[in-house]
Amino acid sequence: MSNDILLINPPSGFLIDQRVFLPLGVANIAAVARERGHRVNLIDLSDVDDYVGGVIQELKGKQYGAIGITATSPQFYYAYRLFEAIKRASDVKVIIGGSHASMFSSLRDNLMTRFRQEGFSGVGLEERLHSEDPNFRKLEEFDIIAAGEENSIFAALNSNGGKWVDGGVSTNLDSLPFPARDLFDVGSYLFDPQGSPKFKIGGKPSGSLISQRGCPYQCEFCCGRDSVMYHRVKLPGGILRAHSPERILQELDYMHDKFGLESFMFYDDEFNLHPERTKELCSTLKKRKYKFRGFVKSDLLVGHPEVATAMADAGFVEVLTGVESGSERILSHHLHKRTSPQLNYQAAMICLENNLAFKALTMVGHVSETARDVLDTRDWIIKVGRAFNERLGPGHFTFDLTVFQPYAGCPIWDRAERNTHEFSDEFEWVYKTREHGNLVDPEKGGMYFNKVDFSTEHGFYKGIPGTYKAFIRTKDISSENYVRMRDSIEDEIRTELKMPALMQPPAQSQFEHVMGQGKSKL
């Protein structure tokens, strides 16, 4: 078998700008494969209209030992079309990896265990699995479904007939090479065709990196809660799955020297996950004059406000946090985030006191949500936005407001039941909440939703108002009304806080590349 590997980053046609921050996952895979002697070619199809034609052209006259396609769940729409085209043109082994493969691999393991306990085996077990979720059949058309981190590529290449493989988690992050950013057109991620920076932190074009991996929390809406890869933050012996401060500084300096970057986005789930480590890292970051932006968890920030000061001193100019909802009832009883509207407000004020810009990541579509809960979210955003406008002026507070979409790996998706209640033709699945350990009728507290076939649908990603859909509903709010309410409230907030309209610059520059506002080119 040829030692050459082709890695493909598929389009993200649901985003306004598909090239903002490099996809670090596939860049890491490329780096470790290259380090172990493989010849690696990488095709970045972000913002490529004829993405299928581009891959077919690449295959002409080439002999690859394997082709690996990475994909998030929304990207799987494109990944599946690439797979079909490749198989029509070649018999090369095609591997599907990335978060979509990892989440469904974890879900498959959990379901198989449950179904075996119910007495299923053999062909009946597979049929039961396929009846549970529309996505397994499409995934199993690929030659290999590879879960896990960097070693997933080697688990796939060395698979002896098994279709589902798991490369596990990387244990010594400092031993890994830097992501293979050199295989990308980095300039197209930093600057638009007119030469203006696409995404600025501290007024300068920005790169991205990850300093630690894993999130130990059990947020009800979050995928990866049952996946070791996404859940584990420590290794046996209490060793953190994190880079050392020195290694992080080396990577920052590399990006500065190679690409001229002086500002960076940390894509850790929570930069302040380990407060003492965070303060140690910030002390190291102070050795440079770089600027930073990153995600924090509100309850940790309130519990350790000195971390915000350390981050500001180290060069952080903005933080983002998952506020999710402004409703006390939703946060306290349904999301399991260990936060409240008041605690989130305290976190925002701590940032304000440290002159840190603040972005609130919120959504509608929560379990048992009512119109009053949605309005509570609107009111919370306006309250915090006014405080920042009064103290620091416009531009220091931003927000994201999306419609919740369940994904494999989140408790809502994984633990849903077949819907035998009303609207069963329209909403196939129901997630029931619990009170005192007992399941509650979803008409009193729960959520109806459809399990999206990600090979045929990506309209759930929030883009141009009027073009995206919701696939969830509660007792009080229909899926159509969720979209209308979200759009209306966004406009209302922007008007109240004197922010640019949704689709007008610079509003577009506030959109998070991984969060999903965007324009489809289909």
Domain ranges of the chain: 4-167, 174-510
Say how many CA atoms lie within 13 Å of 447 toward its Cβ: 31
Single pTM value for the model: 0.91
Say what the pLDDT of residue 438 is: 59
pLDDT score at 232: 78
Across 414-426, b (16+ Cβ under 10 Å) vs e yields: bebeebeeeeeee
User: DSSP 3-state assignment of 33?
Assistant: helix
Residues in the chain, pLDDT under 50: 436, 505-522
Superfamily of domain 174-510: tm_1862 like domain (3.80.30.20)
> What is the reported pLDDT for 506?
47
Mark out the alpha helices in 238-322 (DSSP H runs): 245-259, 275-285, 298-303, 306-314
pLDDT at 236: 76
4-167 and 174-510, same CATH topology: no
What 3-state class would DSSP assign to 230? helix
- Count CB atoms within 10 A of the CB of residue 62: 13
The pair of structure tokens assigned to 271 is: 């930069």
CATH class label, 4-167:
alpha beta
